[in-house]
Amino acid sequence: MNSKIFKPLLISALFLLFCVKPTLSFSQEKAAESTEKPFDPKEVVFEHIGDSHSMHVFGNIAIPLPVILYTDKGLEIFSSEKLGLHHEEGHEAPVHKGEYYNYKLEGNKILAVDEAGEVNKDAKVYDFSITRNVASMWMGMIILLIVFFSISSSYKKRAGKAPKGLQSWLEPVILFVRDDVAIPNIGVKYARYMPLLLTIFFFILINNLLGLVPFFPGGFNLTGNIAVTLVLSVIVLIVINFSGNKYYWKHIFTPDIPVWLYPIMVPVEIIGIISKPFALMIRLFANITAGHIIVLSLISLIFIFKTAWMATVSVPFVVFMDCIELLVAFLQAFIFTMLTSLFIGMAVEEHHH
């Protein structure tokens, strides 16, 4: 067979196998559980897209994460394993006897309890634990730092030479962000915002891709966590408004319209300041979360209809959705970066008569 045809077919087959294998493993695991209790698709979906104090690996294997609590009596640190990573439904989660209070895990929330297991309302507990989303964010940051320190080192060592290795693979992406995103939207002042735009683009992209990697510990849904997208949008909001020139603020508070329209237009412009990053937050959160929910819902059809024949329908659709999610991972990183550069460009644009 012609190698030009064989190689793409081999890559496609491996990718499909890579996607289908965890789906079938998930099916086998849930089939075993279904003999013990009725299958609840809502529980499976929300467990995946939510946060957790442990990193699920496979089956009943989970990696406990550190619990860091600050109470009105002091700091307490212990492993989440002491709170029970996989306690059976219908049974009380184990209570950990700490130095100051006793603690119990309800859902994903750690509560202080008394000796009888009742919630201690007098205890003030502030949770700074390393959860699954925090661990995944650190992993994404480590990958980001390793990749870009490696590229930076390559540029220094190979100054004036053609890019090589990882540098040659990512340079077109970096140039794309610069030439097709930053320069058209921001203009001549683009250079000072390139570190921010590249960080946003690759941070979102890496974490989107980590959430799609089968058997990756935890099955992360970091960019589908609204707290993460909120922080990203707040950063964008701060950068936009601190970069705004006098023409930007004049357009908001003293636009070139009749004075009697000011009471209407000024509040609208102020709302616009907040609504722009708010739209970024909701768009990223909704698209990534929806993709994960659709994939898990399609798998759940096998257990809802209680027949293996449904796998012949749901599994191909899951593979198709995984391919779509791969596209969405890149698309959402691009859209967030592009709109950020557009909003910054509107804030730094000079006035033209």
pLDDT number for residue 353: 47
Q: What tokens does 201 get?
A: 């683009």
- CA dist., res. 11 & res. 15, Å (int): 6
Q: What confidence tier does 202 reach under pLDDT thresholds 50, 70, 90?
A: very high
60-96: burial string, b at 16+ Cβ within 10 Å, e else: eebeebebebebeeeebebebbbbbbeeeeeeebebb
- CA dist., res. 333 & res. 351, Å (int): 30
132, 227 contact by CB (below 8 A)? no
| 96 beta partners | 103
Comparing 15 with 189, the larger pLDDT belongs to 189
272, 241 contact by CB (below 8 A)? no
Q: What confidence tier does 132 reach under pLDDT thresholds 50, 70, 90?
A: confident
pLDDT number for residue 58: 67
- Please, what is the Cα angle at 315 between 214 and 15, to 5 degrees? 45
Residue 117 has pLDDT above 90, yes or no: no
Burial of 336 (0-12, 13-18, 19+ CB in 10 A): buried
Quick: pLDDT tens for 55-93. Answer: 877 666 778 888 888 888 889 888 888 887 655 544 566
Comparing 220 with 230, the larger pLDDT belongs to 230
Name the residue with tokens 């959860």: 131
Rounded to an integer, the average pLDDT of 218-228 is 81
* Contacts with 287 (C-beta within 8 Å, 6 or more apart), sequence order: 328, 332
Residue 301 has pLDDT above 50, yes or no: yes
* Contacts with 139 (C-beta within 8 Å, 6 or more apart), sequence order: 210
pLDDT number for residue 24: 44
Residue 161 has pLDDT above 60, yes or no: yes
Name the residue with tokens 């700490």: 98
| 56 beta partners | 62
131, 52 contact by CB (below 8 A)? yes
SS3 302: helix
pLDDT number for residue 219: 57
Residue 20 has pLDDT above 70, yes or no: no
Which among 58, 322, 328, 80 has a CA at the least distance from the CA of 216?
A: 58
DSSP H or E run through 11:
helix 3-34
The per-residue DSSP string of 143-210 comes to HHHHHHHHHHHHHHHTTTS---THHHHHHHHHHHIIIIIIHHHHGGGGGGGHHHHHHHHHHHHHHHHH
Comparing 72 with 204, the larger pLDDT belongs to 204
pLDDT number for residue 91: 54
- CA dist., res. 96 & res. 85, Å (int): 12
pLDDT number for residue 193: 94
Q: What tokens does 210 get?
A: 């980590």
